[in-house]
Amino acid sequence: MTVPLAEDIDQRFAASLANLESGEPPRRRQAMTVLEQMGGLRAFQVAAALTSDADQVVATVARRICSEASKKGLILRSSLQAQPLAQTVAIKSFYQLLDEVIFIIRRNLSGVVLDSFLFSIPKFALVTIFFLCAYSPYLADLLRQLWVVLPVIFLYEVLWRPLIWPSAGSAFIAGFPENGLRRQAAKVGGGKFYRQAFWSGLFESLLYAVFLSVVYVWYLNFIGSLWGAAAILFLWYLVWIVSSRSTAARMLVPGADRELLWRLGYMGEFWLSLKFGAVLVCLYIVLCGSALSLLWLFGLDNLLDGPQLFLLGFIIAADALLDPFVTGYRILLARLSLDPGCL
């Protein structure tokens, strides 16, 4: 039984070398992740040659491999020596920031996906109800009752959403390259953190619940314009920039208080968030457009003539899929604010 295992390790090592030589940043980073998981002398030898790589992410992982190997007593016979573990990687642009978010999510992809799915079950359940309205008059009538829908919106936004931060957030932090932050991920959670997340985001949650309620009332034709909803959404966006950053900081720094110093001013955060909002709009369009295209492809285009709730269902489903990306972005941005320009 040992021969197939050895062959599998050799194949993974050879594939990692091929990816490193490809010159493509995603493949090279993935190769370093595999080498870090494998460990051993061969990974040490490869990593020692990459500690000064032009790709700072590759160089950081290489130094970490060398540091761990040195702790285990491994040495190199050549002149290459493992350098001290780098603590920072320069972030120079907004798009590099997005790239780092995706890379960190990939380091703990299974944990991020699992936690995000579990805490997005209410959203997927609501989407299912929306799609069943075309076949169940009872469900369609139920969703037209304000006394049913409005309490659900407020309960979800105010009480359930604070649970998403310690779940998806801790899974994201577990993918950070820094050992200290990965250990911190295990400490996030419990009643104390829930209360902190609840109070930090209470005003933001109430604003967003009011926005959704106004959109819902507009759908029922009780009001004729969405300008009020647009104004509430903009106000929510301004509050979200601060509240989400504060919650993320409490996840990263035990016992964080209001005296934390932030290098980026509010306007800097605002423009970054506007860029991020534009990226999210594009992602929503891509996801919803893909879903509509699949319905047409599988001959279900008759559903496209259904109620407007269908479109809302696609948006909510896309929101559930993008939740970990948004959470990760806010946590990474808070990390950069605590230690400017560095990861």
Across 301-316, average pLDDT? 66
Taking only the tens place, the pLDDT of each residue in 36-95 is: 888 777 788 888 888 878 787 888 888 888 877 776 666 665 444 444 434 445 667 788
Mean of per-residue pLDDT scores for the chain: 78
Rounded to two decimals, the pTM is: 0.67
pLDDT at 317: 81
Residue 324 reports pLDDT greater than 50: yes
* Tens of pLDDT, residues 233-271: 999 988 888 888 778 877 777 665 554 544 445 556 778
Report pLDDT for 203.
Answer: 92
Cβ-proximal residues to 194 (8 Å cutoff; 6+ apart), any chain: 162, 163, 166
Higher-confidence residue of 283 and 177: namely 283
Q: How many CB atoms lie within 10 A of CB 316?
A: 18
In which band, very low, low, confident or very high, does the pLDDT at 206 lie, cut at 50, 70 and 90? very high
Contact (CB, 8 A) for 305 and 134:
no
* Comparison of pLDDT for 262 and 218, the residue scoring more: 218
pLDDT at 256: 58
How far apart, in whole angstroms, are the C-alpha atoms of residue 249 and residue 329? 12
Whole-number Å distance between alpha carbons of 312 and 268? 32
pLDDT reading at 219 higher than 90: no
Q: Specify the pLDDT at position 1.
A: 35
| Pair 243, 203: CB distance under 8 Å | yes
pLDDT given at position 87: 42
Region of poorest pLDDT, from 21-30, 144-153, 174-183, 295-304: 295-304
Three-state secondary structure string covering 177-199: CCHHHHHHHCCCCHHHHHHHHHH
Domains of the chain: 12-71 (1.25.10), 94-338 (no CATH)
Q: Which residue has the tokens 């990760």?
A: 328
Which letter does DSSP use for residue 305 in this model? G
Segment (H or E) for 213: helix 202-219
Residue count (the chain): 343
Quick one: pLDDT at residue 83?
A: 41
Q: Higher-confidence residue: 158 or 56?
A: 158
Distance of CA 237 to the CA centre of its chain: 18
- The answer to whether the beta carbons of residues 124 and 296 sit under 8 Å apart is no
Question: How many other β-carbons are positioned within 10 Å of the β-carbon of residue 146?
Answer: 12
Residue 310 has pLDDT above 70, yes or no: no
At residue 133 the predicted structure's pLDDT band, cuts being 50, 70 and 90, is confident
